[in-house]
Amino acid sequence: MAMCSPKRKALCILVASAMTVWCAAATAREQADIRPLLDAAPAISFVYFRAPPLSITTPAKAAPGGGLITAATHSQQLPEGGEIEKAFGIPDASSEIAAQLAMQLKSTAVASKLHTGDRPQGRIWSENTAVYQGEAQDPFVLELAVDRKAAAYLPFNWRTYYYGISARLRLIDVAQSKVVWERRCNQSGLHGDTYKLKVEQFEADGGARLKEVARAANEFCAHELGALLPAT
């Protein structure tokens, strides 16, 4: 999980409520190496869930008196994030990340015991791992879920947005309904210009800039989570 440096700690706190990012240290199960666990598993199902709609913070939503700021910045023109994604065909984040992870896993020694699907799970993601006892075909499930995608701004800079994403990868022992390994990827957006866009860029040029930052965030998480999996 990407940690917040001392310099960025204050910024991380400022956007934490909007981006739902974690600045805490990794838990014990997040520090474990997944590769021996995958090697020992007799069979593994790789599943993923459709990502939730993009959440866009506007001054009117964020604080009392935000309507004045909204009028000045034109952010009242922004539709809901899910509407923008649908209008401009923004790819599902989970599907993009899952495709890259599946491609990597299929090129490793675990490929012969790996079962992957070509579409997201039909149900809503649940913290409760017992649901797999009635639906998983394999004794272990490697599960990808995007918890949140958000675009938020820093105080007094309401026209500049930072795109962030939070995703998790879990290895679940189905028989025990137990998470035996978990790691999160958190991209807060506060890293240079890669994940930054102006308020008017959400809908400009068919959402071209939004597509760029969303793709970059997906690739960031695919790379970060993929680095933990077996290599070719």
- Is the domain covering 29-226 a CATH 3.30.160 domain? yes
In terms of DSSP bridges, do strands 157-173 and 196-198 run parallel, antiparallel, or are they unpaired?
antiparallel
In angstroms, the CA 14 to CA 177 distance is 36
Residue-averaged pLDDT of the chain? 84
| pLDDT higher than 80, residue 19 | no
| pLDDT higher than 70, residue 95 | yes
Amino acid at 104: Q
- What is the secondary structure of 55-114 as a DSSP string? EE--HHHHSTTHHHHHHHHTGGG---HHHHHHHHTPPPHHHHHHHHHHHHHTTSGGGGGE
Asked if residue 173 lies in contact with residue 38, where contact means CB atoms within 8 angstroms, the answer is no
Mean pLDDT across 123-132: 95
The encoded tokens of residue 193 equal: 């210009």
pLDDT of 36 reads 95
pLDDT of 76 reads 53
pLDDT class for 30, splitting at 50, 70, 90?
Answer: low
Asked if residue 187 lies in contact with residue 179, where contact means CB atoms within 8 angstroms, the answer is no
Higher-confidence residue: 203 or 17? Answer: 203
Model-level pTM greater than 0.75? yes
User: Containing H/E element for 37?
Assistant: helix 34-40
Mean pLDDT across 53-77: 61
In angstroms, the CA 110 to CA 215 distance is 27
Mean pLDDT across 165-185: 97
Mean pLDDT across 182-203: 90
Mean pLDDT across 151-179: 93
pLDDT of 154 reads 84
